[in-house]
Amino acid sequence: MDGNGRWAKERGLPRNRGHRAGTDNLKRIIKYARAKEIEYLTFYAFSTENFSRPLEEVQFLFSLISEYFQREIQEMIDEGMRVVFLGDLTLFPLSVRKVLKKTQELTAEGKSIQVNIALGYGARAEILSAVNALLKEGVAKADEELFSSKLYTAGMPDPDLIIRTSGELRLSNFLLYQSAYSELYFTDLFWPDFDTGAFEKALEEYGSRSRRYGGIEEK
């Protein structure tokens, strides 16, 4: 979900307008993914590094997050969505945490699609947290299954495709462990402009690739 601020700047608008446009697009993309029968969809909405932005912008984002889920919660329930938040939610104000907790609890039985929202998320912090959890349990040696069970994404499949908007050609501390064999797709479009047509184009590109997972392609 990258490029909201630059989207607004190009249009002579305040950055907050870009963030609001970004949340509007979130709903459109989720709806399209449900129609495509995609089972898991993850959005990188607020990184650990985002807390270093100007206080006014951070506070606006806090209020926008709360507003979005309070407004959309009933529709999420009605459409059978399950919403899961990935990250260190203790970094957020109590008022925001209450909204997130309520959203996750009320959608826990959703079966149509699981929407993961990464908030207060950083992959390095996630990996470090998993290591510390294992050390606390006295684990001297862990396999992939045990290590994965300590990640925010425990019990979820690794991502097949990671889409990065706004022209940046890096993962920026997102799902570094889980993306070992993910296909990467980069687009110059800012997130508010990444519409269903652009999403479909990314899915078609993904479908044309051959995933070998380090092996040899069969002929």
Q: How many CB atoms lie within 10 A of CB 104?
A: 16
Q: Which residues pair with 41 in a beta bridge?
A: 115
pTM, 2 dp: 0.94
DSSP classification of residue 159 = P
Contacts of 193 (CB under 8 A, 6+ apart): 3, 7
Identify whether 218 is part of a domain.
Answer: no
Identify whether 210 is part of a domain.
Answer: no
- Rounded mean pLDDT of 53-60? 97
Identify whether 84 is part of a domain.
Answer: yes
Cβ–Cβ under 8 Å, residues 91 and 120: yes
Identify whether 170 is part of a domain.
Answer: yes
| CA triple 84-43-122, angle to 5 deg | 85
- Whether the pLDDT of residue 166 is over 60: the answer is yes
Q: Which residues pair with 119 in a beta bridge?
A: 46
Identify whether 73 is part of a domain.
Answer: yes
Strands 113-121 and 81-86: parallel
pLDDT level of residue 150 (50, 70, 90 thresholds): very high
Burial class (CB in 10 A: 0-12, 13-18, 19+), 195: middle
Helix axes 55-78, 15-35, angle to 10 degrees: 20
Cβ–Cβ under 8 Å, residues 53 and 96: no
Give the whole-angstrom CA distance, residue 181 versus residue 209.
Answer: 12
Identify whether 150 is part of a domain.
Answer: yes
Identify whether 94 is part of a domain.
Answer: yes
Burial class (CB in 10 A: 0-12, 13-18, 19+), 53: middle
Q: How many domains does the chain have?
A: 1
Report the pLDDT value the prediction gives residue 210, as an integer from 0 to 100. 82
Give the CATH number of the domain where residue 30 resides: 3.40.1180.10
Give the whole-angstrom CA distance, residue 116 versus residue 122.
Answer: 14
Catalytic positions: 2, 50
- Whether the pLDDT of residue 219 is over 60: the answer is no
Cβ–Cβ under 8 Å, residues 159 and 175: yes
CA-nearest of 84, 85, 89 to 120 is 89
Structural domain of residue 93, as residue ranges? Answer: 4-203
Identify whether 123 is part of a domain.
Answer: yes
pLDDT in tens, 120-142: 999 999 999 999 999 999 999 99
Question: What's the token pair of residue 80?
Answer: 């059978």
